[in-house]
Chain A
Amino acid sequence: MSPGLKHPAWAWGLAGLYVMLGAASFADDRFLHDEGLLTHLFSLLVERDFWPAFFLQKIRPPIAVLYAPAAAVGLDAFLWMHLCVSALAVPLVAATAHRLGHAMPNVPAAVVALSPMFVAGGAAGLSNADAVVAVSLVLWLWGAQRELVAGLALGVAVWIRAELLVLVMVMLAWAAWHKRPRAVLGLLIWPVLYGLAGAAYHDYLPWLLHYPPALSEPMPDNVYWQPHHRAASLASLAGTAVALSPAAVALLLCRPRSLRGVERWWAGFAVAFAGALILLPRWQVFNFDQSPRYLMPLLPVLALAVGRAVEGWGDLRRAQIFLLVGAAAISVAVHRGGGGFALSWATLGVSVAAAVAGAGHARAAALTLLVLLGIGPRHLGDGARIGRRTQAAALDEMVDRISDATGEGARPVVTNEPILAAYLSRSGLMPEVAVHYIVQADQVHELKALTNPANGQRERVFAALAQGMYGTPIFPDQLSPEHLPSRALLVLTDDRRLKIVMPPAIWGPALDTVSKSPRLTVAERKRERP
C-alpha cells in the first residue's frame, strides 16, 4: 500500500491543498455569498455588543464568538480564518479513519479536502462548513470512545447548525443501546450552562424555547418562500450528491457489512439527516428551503463510507455492479433532462477506478479516484449552488448599470442585493460608492421574534445592526421616497418580497425608471418639476 494513502502527514498536506483551492477563489470572489456575509455580520454583532448578541441564538454563538476577532479586522481576515478552520476537518476525518482501522485513511481525507461544496462553503464563510468541522470533531472523539467530550462537542455544534439535532438523536440512541451515560452527560453540558447563563441575562428561565435559534415556520404570507417549497428533482439530487463529492457514487459499492461498530450508527445518521433535509422543506416544516448546502454536514460520514467502499472494491458482488450500472443509466436520464453531465463524469470515474481495482491494482484505482476528486472543485461543483453567479445572477449587470449612472460623480446606491456592498468594496470596482441596503420585512420579523424586548436585547441588537448590515441598512420603517439619500440610485433585483417594504401604490408614482431588465430595475426618485 502506498504510504501516501496512510501516512498522517499527507492528510495535513491535503488540508493545505484545501486552503489553496479556497483561497484561489478569493481573487474573483467566486463564492461571495450572502449567508457567508451573514456569518461575518453575526461575528461583528458579538464585537459590537457582546451580551445581547451572545444570547441571541440566531447568530450561532459558538462560531460568532470564534470569528469575532477576525471579523473585527475585516471581511478578508474573517474569510481567511473561516477557510483555515474549515480545513481542520481534513486531518480530523483522516485521524478518525486511522483510528477505526481503515486501510487507506487518506482517501476519506481527500474526499473531504476536494469536496466541491466544502471548498466553496469554506471560502464563502458558510456556517454549513463549520458544521462539517464540528461533525468531524465529534466523530473523531466518538470513534476514540471519548464519549463525554464527544457529547460536549455535539451539544455545542447544535448551536452552529440546528439540523445537527438529528445527530444528537442518533448519539442518544447509541448511548442508550450501549449504556454510555457519559455521552448523555456531555450532550447536556453546553445547553445547561448556556441556558442558565441566558436565563440570568434574560431574567426568564424558558428563554431557550421562547427565543429559539430560528423560526419554526416562515413569516405568514411571505412570498419569498412560495417558490422554494418544491420537491427535489432527480437532477438536483444528483447535482447535490456530486457537489458533495464526485466519489459519492462509490457509496453504491460500500457493503453495510464492511462498516464497523459505530460507523453503522453514523450511516444511520446520514440516512436520517438526508431524509429530513430533503423531505421537511417539501412539507414546509421549519424555516428552510432546498439549498444543497444544508446537506454539507453529511460529508465526513460520506467520506468514511467511501473509504470503506474503496477497501472492498476489488471484490465486487453482483448487486453492487447492478447498482453501478443503474447509476450510469440514471446519469444519462439526468443529463437528457437538462441536468448536466456531473453525475455521468462521476460515475465514469468511479467505474473506471473500480474496474482497475477489480483487476488487482489497488494503488492505481485509488489514484484514479484521486484524479476524479481533483477535477471536482473546479468542474463538478455546480450542484452546490454556492457560486456568486448562481446566488446573485444580476450582480455584474448591477455593477454595469451603477457605472453608467455614476459617470458624473458617485451617487449613493440603494439596493436589496446583500452582497453588492461587499463586492464593490472587495473588487475595487467602485469603492467610493456608498451602498444602502433595504432590510426586508421577513428579516425584521425574524429578528423581532427571536429577541427579547423586555430586557433591552431587541433594541441593542437593532442598534448594533444599524452600524452596518450589508452596507448601511435602511429598515422598513425608515424607507420612504422622501427619505431616500440625496441623488440615490435604486438598484433593485427581482425579489417578490420588495413589494412588502416598497408598496407599488406609494413607490410607483415616486420613481422614474432608468432601465429595466428581467433581473434588474434601476430607478431614481422622480425629479421635482419647476
Chain B
Amino acid sequence: MLRQRMGVLGPLLAALVAAAGIAWGLADPPRTDANDAGSARTTAAARALLGGLAQGDTLVGWRVTAVSGPDNDGVIRIQLVNRDVAFSLMLSPLEGALEQAPVQTEHWAIFYGHVQPADTALSRNVITATTNALANRVRQHE
C-alpha cells in the first residue's frame, strides 16, 4: 500500500517541482545576455567612445532613437530617425575588416545601412554628414 502511494506521490512531487519551475520562469523570466550587468557595462564603454551620444540626442539634425552594442563582433549600432526615414550607423572594429568603410577613424570603420522604408535612397549629403559627424566624436574619445 505504501509503495503504491509512493508510486503516485513521488512522480506527482516531480511534476509539482517542474510545474512550479515553469510558473516561476513565466512570472520572473531569467536574465539573459542582453540585459545582464556585463552587457550594461559594455554599453557604457560604447557610450564613452561615442562621447555620451545617447537616445534622444541629435546628430546633424537626425534624432538618435537607439544605441546598442558592442555585440559579439564588437559592432556598435546607432539608429537615426528624421521624419519618416530611419537608418543606422555601425561602428565596426577596423582590425581585420573585410571591406573598406565609407569613413574610418584610427580604430573604427563606420558603415551605414538598415534604411527604412526599404526603398528610400539616402542622399550622399546625408551619408557624408552623419558618418563624418560620428567619426569626429569617436576620434575625440578612441
Chain A interface residues (CB < 8 Å from chain B): 314-316, 318, 320-321, 324-325, 327-329, 331-332, 335-338, 341, 344-345, 347-348, 351-355, 357-359, 400, 403-404, 407, 492, 494, 498-499, 502, 504, 507-509, 511-518, 521-523, 526
Q: A324-B10, A499-B96 are in contact. Are A513 and B101 (CB under 8 A)?
A: yes
Question: Quick one: CB contact mask for B2-23 with A, threshold 8 Å, 1 for yes?
Answer: 0110111111111111111110
Contact B14 A321 (CB under 8 A): yes
Chain B residue at smallest Cβ distance from A503: B98
Residues of A within 8 A of B101 (CB): 513
Q: In the complex, what's the smallest C-beta–C-beta distance from A326 to chain B, in angstroms? A: 8
Residues of B within 8 A of A512 (CB): 99-100
Contact B4 A328 (CB under 8 A): no
Contact B97 A504 (CB under 8 A): yes
Pull 18 A–B residue pairs with CB atoms less than 8 Å apart, ordered by A. Answer: A316-B7, A318-B6, A320-B10, A321-B7, A321-B14, A328-B17, A332-B17, A332-B18, A358-B4, A403-B118, A494-B73, A499-B96, A504-B97, A504-B98, A515-B112, A515-B115, A517-B113, A518-B73
Q: In the complex, what's the smallest C-beta–C-beta distance from A163 to chain B, in angstroms? A: 30
Q: In the complex, what's the smallest C-beta–C-beta distance from A225 to chain B, in angstroms? A: 17
A354 to B14, CA, bound (A): 10
Tell me which of A320, A328, A513 has the highest count of chain B C-beta atoms within 10 A of its own C-beta: A513
Residues of A within 8 A of B115 (CB): 515
Contact A352 B11 (CB under 8 A): yes
Asked whether B90 is an interface residue with its Cβ less than 8 Å from the other chain, the reply is: yes
Contact B100 A325 (CB under 8 A): no
Residues of A within 8 A of B113 (CB): 513-517, 522
Asked whether B119 is an interface residue with its Cβ less than 8 Å from the other chain, the reply is: yes
CB contact list, B24-40 vs A, under 8 A: 24-25, 30-33
A499 to B7, CA, bound (A): 60
Among B16, B17, B100, B102, contact of A508 (Cβ-Cβ < 8 Å): B100
Contact B30 A336 (CB under 8 A): yes
Q: In the complex, what's the smallest C-beta–C-beta distance from B80 to chain A, in angstroms? A: 14
* 12 more CB-based (< 8 A) A-B contacts, given A335-B25, A338-B33, A403-B118: A321-B11, A325-B14, A328-B16, A332-B18, A335-B30, A344-B18, A344-B25, A353-B11, A404-B118, A512-B99, A514-B113, A526-B100
Residues of A within 8 A of B14 (CB): 321, 324-325, 327-328, 347, 351, 354
Q: A338-B30, A494-B73 are in contact. Are A509 and B100 (CB under 8 A)?
A: yes
Asked whether B111 is an interface residue with its Cβ less than 8 Å from the other chain, the reply is: yes
Residues of B within 8 A of A355 (CB): 7-12, 15
Give the dominant DSSP class at A's interface.
Answer: helix
A320 to B14, CA, bound (A): 11
Q: A514-B113, A516-B92 are in contact. Are A507 and B99 (CB under 8 A)?
A: yes
Q: How large is the interface on B (under 10, 10 to 19, 20 to 34, 35 or more residues)?
A: 35 or more
Chain A residue at smallest Cβ distance from B5: A358
Residues of A within 8 A of B16 (CB): 328
A407 to B117, CA, bound (A): 14
Residues of A within 8 A of B21 (CB): 328, 331-332, 335-336, 344
Chain B residue at smallest Cβ distance from A314: B7
Residues of B within 8 A of A523 (CB): 99
A404 to B9, CA, bound (A): 61
Among A347, A404, A508, A516, contact of B90 (Cβ-Cβ < 8 Å): A516
Among B6, B10, B111, B119, contact of A516 (Cβ-Cβ < 8 Å): B111
A381 to B96, CA, bound (A): 37
Chain A residue at smallest Cβ distance from B69: A518
Asked whether B114 is an interface residue with its Cβ less than 8 Å from the other chain, the reply is: yes
Residues of A within 8 A of B8 (CB): 355, 358-359
Contact A513 B99 (CB under 8 A): yes
A321 to B11, CA, bound (A): 6
A358 to B97, CA, bound (A): 62
Contact B15 A508 (CB under 8 A): no
Contact B17 A325 (CB under 8 A): yes
Contact A325 B13 (CB under 8 A): yes
Contact B71 A341 (CB under 8 A): no
Tell me which of B3, B4, B11, B71 has the highest count of chain A C-beta atoms within 10 A of its own C-beta: B11
Residues of B within 8 A of A526 (CB): 100
CB contact list, B118-133 vs A, under 8 A: 118-119
Asked whether B75 is an interface residue with its Cβ less than 8 Å from the other chain, the reply is: yes
Residues of A within 8 A of B92 (CB): 516
Among B12, B32, B72, B102, contact of A351 (Cβ-Cβ < 8 Å): B12
Q: A314-B7, A321-B11, A351-B12 are in contact. Are A515 and B114 (CB under 8 A)?
A: yes
Q: In the complex, what's the smallest C-beta–C-beta distance from B68 to chain A, in angstroms? A: 10
Q: A316-B7, A348-B18, A513-B111 are in contact. Are A407 and B119 (CB under 8 A)?
A: yes
Contact A358 B7 (CB under 8 A): yes
Residues of B within 8 A of A359 (CB): 8
CB contact list, B60-114 vs A, under 8 A: 69, 71-73, 75, 77, 88, 90, 92, 96-102, 111-114
Chain B residue at smallest Cβ distance from A322: B10
Contact B98 A345 (CB under 8 A): no
Contact B15 A348 (CB under 8 A): yes
A244 to B118, CA, bound (A): 41
Residues of B within 8 A of A327 (CB): 14
Residues of B within 8 A of A521 (CB): 98-99
Contact B99 A511 (CB under 8 A): yes
Contact A348 B97 (CB under 8 A): no
Chain B residue at smallest Cβ distance from A327: B14
A234 to B55, CA, bound (A): 38
Residues of B within 8 A of A502 (CB): 98
Residues of A within 8 A of B69 (CB): 518
Residues of B within 8 A of A504 (CB): 96-98
Q: In the complex, what's the smallest C-beta–C-beta distance from A496 to chain B, in angstroms? A: 9
Contact B25 A351 (CB under 8 A): no
